[in-house]
Amino acid sequence: MSSKAPLLITPKALQDLRSSSSVTVDILDASWFMPNSPRDASKEFTDKRIPGARYLDLDGVAAPNELGLKHMMPTAQVFSDALGKPIEQLAAQRRS
């Protein structure tokens, strides 16, 4: 049996879901900002994030497109590998 949580929930609802023994909750931060924005999604994630959340770098996993379109769906393997990166690796990538 599966249950679907809404895509946007309150902090209290998230806390309730995470403390429930009947539901497994994975939090994925796929924040992205326009290239000319002064904000840096990966830096914001490493500086302050919901404990246990994972970061998905949309630019890093996007599949190449012959028309030059951005953010195309990656393969399942690329997506899976991207979710397995530890936070230390993300921070090191940002520094380089």
How many structural domains compose the chain?
1
Q: How many CB atoms lie within 10 A of CB 39?
A: 10
In a domain, 43, yes or no: yes
pLDDT value of position 39:
94
**Assigned domain for 5 exists:** no
In the numeric block, which tokens belong to residue 87?
Answer: 């936070």
Entry pTM: 0.65
Q: Is residue 62 part of a domain?
A: yes
Does residue 29 fall inside a structural domain? yes
**Average pLDDT of span 11-26:** 83
Question: Residue 72 above 80 pLDDT?
Answer: yes
Most confident of 2-11, 39-48, 73-82: 39-48
- Per-residue pLDDT of 27-65, as tens digits, reads 888 888 988 999 999 899 999 888 888 888 888 888 888
In a domain, 6, yes or no: no
- In order of 19, 47, 75, the CA distances from 51 in angstroms are 13, 11, 27
Please report, for the domain that includes residue 74, its CATH number.
3.40.250.10
* Domain encompassing residue 68: 11-18+25-95
Amino acid letter, 16: D
Per-residue pLDDT band for 1 (boundaries 50, 70, 90) equals very low
Cα 32 off chain centre by: 9
| Domain assignment of residue 3, yes or no | no
Q: Is residue 63 part of a domain?
A: yes
In a domain, 4, yes or no: no
